[in-house]
Amino acid sequence: MYVAVKGGERAIENAHRLLAHERRGDQTVPELSLDQISGQLSLAVDRVMAEGSLYDRELAALAIKQARGDMIEAIFLARAFRATLPRFGMTEAVDTGTMQVQRRISSTFKDIPGGQVLGPTFDYTHRLLDPTLAGGMVPQRPATAPVPEAPMPRVTDILKSDGLIEPSPLEEQGKPVGDLTREPLSFPADRDLRLQNLARGDEGFLLALGYSTQRGYGRTHPFAGEIRFGEVEVEFFAEDAGFAVPLGAIAVTECQMVNQFKGSATEAPCFTRGYGLAFGQSERKTMAMALVDRALRARELGEDLVAPAQDEEFVMSHSDNVQSTGFVEHLKLPHYVDFQSELGLLRKLRAEFEQAAQNENRLREAAE
């Protein structure tokens, strides 16, 4: 006799208990601490902060632990938490020109004021798995040098003062910066919303799109004008105090791409910009972001729209990995009611098809 399925609630509870158990793993093995994750898997933490749109290393580390290392799940946790936080307002724009630089490189010039500072980077390492890391090792003390007094102007500012690169698109006076998390997105979108969307966007998706532009799908002839990583001050304008109050410093990575030059009937040609900014040391992310930012400016720069990276609606609708994983994974939810309807329709069509074939055979036989 058929018994209707019940007990879903208990099944869910048991599943969650099992999950918690699996997450902890072998209990004779020491449990991961948030300090370990934040300190030794810092790039993972940086990514969760960047795409979770929340600057808090400890929370990001907790999210990674809770998510068992699944980055998108961790990003989801960060975002959901962010949504519950009260908002005080908007900070002043951070000034990356006054950044405490840990790393700063430019491929457009051999040498620049302030010099090329390699900083902590995987670049030029040989990708050979190092077994000494398995056992634990004490790293050598890094080389040090006094912090240079010389200013480190941004390369793009240098080019701008010679008129060689377009000025940063000016803010219209009085026009507030949009906020993707407060307003529904509608197209066409202005650059502020586009950049916000890209900053939160999935690194893999943007990486692929950026790569595609380099391979000819909307080529923009990019040069890495500057990539810098370090801490910047965050300031908040306090109404009562009447001045901007420093809240602290955050680590960010900034990438300025110098792209295909452009002129018009009324203006002399100059280089164009692509911009990327993200929390933490997120070079791949900011470089990809800058490539896609520039590709998305195709419309305003009068270029032909021929490639996916230039398609604003396509890029912005699919860049958010929390949204995309939600919808892809929702296919796991029961869909049997709709499937039943489809089955019904299909059976009907097949029956009609058979009937028509039989009728045709009968006619043919009758004709013979």
Instruction: State the residues that interact with other proteins by CB under 8 A.
Output: 1-9, 11-12, 34, 56, 58-59, 62, 76, 79-84, 86, 181-188, 264-266, 313, 317, 322-323, 325-330, 333-338, 340-345, 348-349, 352
Q: Which is nearer to other proteins, 13 or 123 (CB)?
A: 13
To other proteins, the closest distance from the beta carbon of 54 in angstroms equals: 11
Q: Which is nearer to other proteins, 223 or 236 (CB)?
A: 236
Q: Which is nearer to other proteins, 33 or 361 (CB)?
A: 33
To other proteins, the closest distance from the beta carbon of 261 in angstroms equals: 17
Q: Which is nearer to other proteins, 32 or 34 (CB)?
A: 34
For residue 198 the two structure tokens come to 């890209």
Handedness of CA 68, 70, 76, 79 (dihedral sign): positive
Environment class of 279 (CB within 10 Å of its CB; exposed 0-12, middle 13-18, buried 19+): buried
To other proteins, the closest distance from the beta carbon of 114 in angstroms equals: 36
CA distance 191 to 171: 10
Contact 86, 104 (CB under 8 A): no
To other proteins, the closest distance from the beta carbon of 45 in angstroms equals: 14
To other proteins, the closest distance from the beta carbon of 234 in angstroms equals: 16
CA distance 194 to 208: 17
Q: Which is nearer to other proteins, 65 or 228 (CB)?
A: 65
Handedness of CA 176, 252, 195, 276 (dihedral sign): positive
Strand, coil or helix: 74:
helix
To other proteins, the closest distance from the beta carbon of 121 in angstroms equals: 30
To other proteins, the closest distance from the beta carbon of 312 in angstroms equals: 9
Contact 120, 102 (CB under 8 A): yes
Token pair 């910009």: residue: 273
Q: Which is nearer to other proteins, 136 or 334 (CB)?
A: 334
Q: Give the DSSP per-residue string, 69-108.
A: T-HHHHHHHHHHHHHHS-----PPPP-GGG-EEEEEE-SS
For the sheet with 100-105, list strands across it.
100-105, 223-238, 243-262, 270-279
Q: Which is nearer to other proteins, 11 or 18 (CB)?
A: 11
